[in-house]
Amino acid sequence: MNDMSGLLLSLSLLAGSLSPLAGSPAQVDFARDVRPILSEHCFACHGPDEAKRAAGLRLDTPEGLRAGLATGGHAIVPGKLDESELAYRIEPGLESDLMPPAAFGKPLSVAQVGTLKRWIEEGAEWRAHWAFQAPTRPAVPALAEAGDAAAVDAFVLAALAAKGLAPSPEADPVTLLRRVTLDLTGLPPTLEELDAFLSDEAPDAYERAVDRLLASPRYGEQMARLWLDAARYADTHGLHLDNVRSMWPYRDWVVRAFNEDLPFDDFTVWQLAGDLLPEPTQDQLIASGFNRCNPTSAEGGMIAEEYLSIYAKDRVDTTGTVWLGMTVGCAQCHDHKYDPISQREYYQLYAFFNSLDEEASDRNIPNPQPFLKVPTATDEANLGALRASLAALDAELAAPNPALDAREAEWAHARSAALAARWLNWVPESATATNGAELTVQPDASVVAGGENPAKTVYELRGFVPAGSVERLRLEALLPSDSARLPGRATNQNFVLSEIEVEAAPAGTEDFQRIDLTSAVASFSQNEWPISAVLDGKPNTGWAGLGLQGARHAELTPRAPFGYPAGAELRVRLRFESVHDQHAFARFRLGLDHTPTSGLGLGVWHRAFFPDTRVLTAHDRVLPIEATLGALDVLDSAVAWTPEPGWREGETHMFPQAVGSMALVRYIWSDGPRHAIATLGSDDSVQVWVNGALVHDNPAARAVAPDADRVEFELRRGLNELVVEVSNHGGGFGFQMQMASALPFDEAPE
């Protein structure tokens, strides 16, 4: 006998007491003999209903039975009939003392009175409802008549003997096989099975026939038929239009559970809470369909909360009946009068089932949510083949592939270089702040804030952008030092950038136009302070960075790319005007996703004159701007620079006659390292610096002539600073310069 059928049989045997052996005195059993009498004749006045309880006497609990009465006695004194008030009241000397009263209309029979008295004499043992008793294995009756029969036969023979009965003669083989086949499979035996059984003369032929039937798929179907009735299984919704629903995977699982001899504890847990197990299997999820077998509705006038409550109660009632072996439905309204369950306990169980995630309406569809897609056996086989193929492919991908790795590394390097080339670290020509804060542009194009840290401030940056198209802006919030945690100036090092404003004008003009920024993304934003807030026009919102240490960046996209043929003058304002005071950047940098018109971008010339009355010493003087060479901030020196956006490449430009030096500055943007050649003419002497390095020095006294000198120098990727000093010793005063070539290093001549 397999585990499932054996356990179910054991439970049925244990549900009530077995009859005593023949010749032994009949022991009164409380659950079988006494409790039904008390329930039928006494509980109405002395049971769980407190409102109707008479004389303060409660007979439905062991404590109540033994409790003292108001008269001083006890209803039950175990083993002492004369001291038990109940024994007197069921057979009193005075009719007025009779219980139950004649008016109740349910008198006790003589046999019932005898049963109650014998129960008291035997000790008035109280036994809880059988469903709450742990099953125990009873001793097998030792009967001579049983011989070598199975244990179950010994119990049957003992019960027959107790009633003075003898077993019937053994049925003929055809009847035996028909009975057991119907019992175990629900079908009669086939002619072939019957012929095989009749021709089998072995002494264990019947046992082997039983084993064959237990191994048959029909056995699981027969057992499942009975179980599915208890689980209220159906292939339709059960209410309203009663449309079809796809519950058959649960039905098939129940069949498999019996055929595979699933342990009863798993059979229980999986059905009640299979979906709550850690990493549940498909079978465990399907098994929890026990809780989805209840009738459902899609009626148009239904109230969702009402039907969800109905569904939950159905699950409680079914669980009580199937798993607890007791009715619990009465406890919906009051403590149960006949089964040991209170109304509070009922709704504790109700709360468990009321947590299911489902819709009230089944919408008249086969698979209302939530549902599980279950592959067929064919699908499962195909999936197995696909999984095996996938595993092989994964192994192939995981295996070393030096050639592919080399190509991937080459591609990644090229792609990284291409992406990096698009981003230009923009070096502003001026950086100012309001309310006492001070900004300083660093050699790496970052901007550091110093001076006062006011409650509110606005950073304004301005500078040249080479000819081309700007598609995005990148704002990097950088750490001001190695020991800093965040990029802000607040005491907690946080920042709140409330707004970003961007304007652009053709290079050399003040015709600024607002650049409309439409989207923003950030590598990190503080909760409720997103980067998108810098574009909403509200000073009380903004982008903040608390919650993650380190630098972070944001990218902002304009409505359309912008730029001008001769380059652009860019102006950017960063507003720190939120409700959080002193939350400005401590260090930051702006980058541009810039596609140049060519690989080289020539900025606007700026000039400033430094007089010198000593005539021939002008060339050798150290001008104030020379202290700033190499830091890309010559134009930030305290000098009144004059932009010359109208100058054309290679033209000669004459200055007013005066003795002294004319400083000329321009920025050159390069898409990569290049070897550059320029020609120039000057009146008189000339010096040239590129990125702080002196690359040309000619102290000549001469008139300006085109292409008089040839200058070679190196450009790095990004911005380069070109500074020219023309010194006039008397007479004419002028300058001319043009780029002759600027080839990448791999194309430059030896």
Of the pLDDT bands very low, low, confident and very high (cuts 50, 70, 90), residue 749 is very low
Q: What is the pLDDT of residue 628?
A: 83
Residue 207: its pLDDT value, please? 93
pLDDT of residue 647: 84
How confident is the model at residue 338, as a pLDDT? Answer: 64
Per-residue pLDDT at 624: 86
The predicted model gives 720-745 an average pLDDT of 87
Tell me the C-alpha distance between 277 and 23, whole Å.
52
- Helix (H), strand (E) at residue 249: helix 248-259
Q: Specify the pairing of strand 605-611 against strand 660-670.
A: antiparallel
pLDDT grade for 6, boundaries at 50, 70 and 90: very low
Residue 148: its pLDDT value, please? 58
Residue 11: pLDDT band (50, 70, 90) is: very low
DSSP 64-110: HHHSBPTTS-BS--TT-STTBHHHHHTS-SSGGG-SS-GGGS-PPPH
Of 47-56, 170-179, 342-351, the one with minimum mean pLDDT is 47-56
Cα 484 from chain centre: 33
- Predicted TM-score of the model (pTM): 0.49
**Which amino acid is residue 42, in one-letter code?**
C
Higher pLDDT, 232 or 336: 232
Longest Cα separation, the chain: 153
pLDDT for the residue numbered 717: 80
Residue 88 has pLDDT above 70, yes or no: yes
Q: What is the pLDDT of residues 698-727, one digit of tens each?
A: 999 999 998 899 999 999 987 788 999 999
pLDDT above 70: percentage of residues in the chain: 93
Helix (H, G, I), strand (E, B) or coil at 148: coil
Q: List the one residue out of 122, 116, 146, 121 whose CA is nearest residue 37.
A: 116
Distance (Å, rounded) from C-alpha 535 to C-alpha 532?
6
Q: Which amino acid does the sequence have at 704? A: V
pLDDT tens readout for residues 259-290: 999 999 999 999 999 999 999 999 999 999 99
Would you state the pLDDT for residue 147?
A: 55
Residue for token pair 């999820």:
285
Residue 748 clears pLDDT 60, i.e. is over it: no
pLDDT at 21: 42
Instruction: Tell me the C-alpha distance between 400 and 411, whole Å.
Output: 18
What are the residues facing 103 on neighbouring strands? none
Which band of pLDDT confidence, cut at 50, 70 and 90, is reported for residue 18?
A: very low
How far is residue 694's CA from residue 687's CA, in Å, rounded to a whole number?
7
Can you tell me the distance from the alpha carbon of 100 to that of 115, in angstroms, rounded to the nearest whole number?
16
Chain mean pLDDT for the chain: 88
Q: What is the C-alpha separation between 585 and 719, in angstroms, rounded?
A: 24
Helix (H) or strand (E) holding 173: helix 173-185
Are 532 and 520 in contact by the 8 Å Cβ rule? The answer is: yes
Secondary structure of residue 520 in the 3-state scheme: strand
Which comes out higher in pLDDT, residue 394 or 616?
Answer: 394
The predicted pLDDT at position 145 comes to 57
Q: What pLDDT sits at residue 51?
A: 84
pLDDT at 12: 39
Q: What residues have CB less than 8 Å from 677, skipping those under 6 apart?
A: 710, 711, 712, 739, 740, 741, 742
Q: What's the pLDDT score for residue 409?
A: 86
Q: What is the pLDDT of residues 629-677, one digit of tens each?
A: 877 778 777 788 887 877 888 899 999 989 999 999 988 878 788 899 9
The yes-or-no verdict on residue 45 having pLDDT over 80 is yes
At 548, give phi and psi (nearest 5°).
-150, 125
Q: Which helix (H) or strand (E) holds 181?
A: helix 173-185
pLDDT of residue 9: 38
> pLDDT tens for residues 431-479?
999 999 999 999 888 999 999 999 999 999 999 888 888 989 999 999 9
Confidence of residue 341 (pLDDT cuts 50, 70, 90): confident
Whether the pLDDT of residue 15 is over 50: the answer is no
Which ranges of 324-461 does DSSP label H, i.e. alpha helix? 343-353, 377-398, 402-422
Q: Which residues contact 47 (CB under 8 A, 6 or more apart)?
A: 39, 53, 58, 59, 60, 337
**Per-residue pLDDT tens for 535-581?**
999 999 999 999 999 999 999 999 888 988 778 999 999 999 999 99
Higher pLDDT, 419 or 681: 681
Predicted local confidence at residue 254, as pLDDT: 97
Site of tokens 């002497």: 685
- Provide the 8-state DSSP code for 619: G
pLDDT at 552: 94
Mean pLDDT of 318-327: 90
Per-residue DSSP letter, 529:
B
Residue 38 has pLDDT above 60, yes or no: yes
| Residue 497, amino acid | L
d(C-alpha 706, C-alpha 748), whole Å:
24
Neighbours of 191 (CB within 10 A): 8
C-alpha separations of 407 from 73, 412, 561 in Å: 99, 9, 34
pLDDT-wise least confident of 118-132, 258-272, 302-316, 535-549: 118-132
Tokens 């197990």 correspond to what residue?
277
